[in-house]
A = this chain, B = another copy of it.
Amino acid sequence: MANPKSVLESYKKEINRSLEVFFNLQIAKSNKKAAFFKNSLKSLREYHLRKGGKRIRALLVMLGYTLFKNKRTAGMAKVARAMELIHSSLLIKDDIMDEDILRRGKPALHYFFEKLHQKKYKIGDSKHFGISLGILSGDISSIYAYGSIIDSSFPNQYKIRALERFNQMYFDTVYGQMIDVLNSYRKKVALKDILEVYRYKTAKYTIECPLHLGALLSGAGKRELNLLSSYAIPLGIAFQIKDDILGMFGDKKTVGKPATSDLEEGKQTFVMFFAFKKANQSQRKFLLKCFGQKNIKIGDLKKVRLIIAETGALQYCQEYANLLVRKAKKALSVFKGVNKNTLFLLNYIADYIIKRDY
């Protein structure tokens, strides 16, 4: 088969095009609506088309379909687009909750509206205006997501199954986010609460549901969905652990946010949990001092990194993530009589998730 990277790249282009065409149409359709709304849609389009979106969820929708069908169908791009639309909706609201002002190297959407208020409006509080318009733009994006499935060209019985699965995923993700928010208001968080967030907010959402959506629309049954879950859940948890490592050790330019931001936010991660657990008294004291500390110095970040490495926490997390990826790949080997090219791509993605540097 062709180079996997270029195959995935061509899928990604198709998804980006689908998003762009969709937003252009919505903007054109809003001509009779208030000008402010039309401009808000333009900001939402810019947000969706920013460079740096990996489109991993949309890709997995496509692959969940082609695994059981040898041909791609134009309708899949709409459902794949739904995953990107709901993803942006969740990111917009996450950034409000985490008070992050950057996303993919540009202003978070609520922060964009906050700055717009400072420039254009005389009454009221800019920050609150930003939060309100952020919530509403997030809602618009989730409505577009449902609409993309409802409007797709699959038979009604398939669409209903896909909508049911999509709705369940959205629920699971909001549940994961609720626990994540709660964790950020606690000084000490149990490993089980961290893993609950990883399972719901990452594994089910980023890997399992997209694959299931594609598979359901190809007509796959319960057994196939369960096999996909055995691949998706360990891979998703590995994906999140890798994200946390990048959040602490990654490069600002490639990751798109400062390497200090997870630490400053006091983000309760798998990596930090084991760093605290394996640290000696003086190391723990230093970690505690830096954890949740705003405006952290680069020297302190480097020292935190050193502690994570020296305690063995980094190696432990890397090895654990590797183990999960092997488990995921093993689950794939059970599939018989499916599209070999897609199977190859799913293996490739499992490796990529560990090796990526952004």
Chain A residues engaging chain B, CB cutoff 8 angstroms = 33-34, 36-37, 40, 93, 96-97, 99, 117, 121-124, 128-129, 131-133, 135-136, 139-140, 142-143, 146-147, 150-151, 156-157, 159-160, 163-164, 167, 170-171, 174-175, 177-179, 181-182, 184-187, 193, 196, 292
* CA distance in complex: A123, B142 (Å): 31
Complex Cα distance, B159 from A128, in Å, reads 38
A128: chain B residues at CB < 8 Å are 97, 99
Residues of B within 8 A of A93 (CB): 135, 139
- Given that A37-B175, A123-B186 are contacting pairs, would A97 and B143 also be in contact in the complex, using a CB cutoff of 8 Å? no
Copies in the complex: 2
Are B124's CB and A184's CB within 8 A? yes
Q: How far is the CB of A120 from chain B (nearest CB, A)?
A: 9
Additional pairs, 5, CB under 8 Å, beyond known A122-B187, A156-B160, A160-B160? A93-B135, A96-B131, A124-B184, A140-B174, A151-B164
**Contact B139–A174 (Cβ < 8 Å):** yes
Which residues of B lie under 8 Å from residue A179 when comparing CB positions?
A: 34, 36-37
Show 19 A/B contacts (Cβ-Cβ < 8 Å), sorted by A: A34-B182, A36-B182, A40-B178, A117-B185, A121-B186, A122-B187, A123-B184, A124-B184, A129-B181, A132-B181, A133-B178, A135-B135, A140-B174, A143-B170, A146-B146, A146-B163, A147-B171, A156-B157, A163-B163
Contact in complex: B133, A131 (CB < 8 Å): no
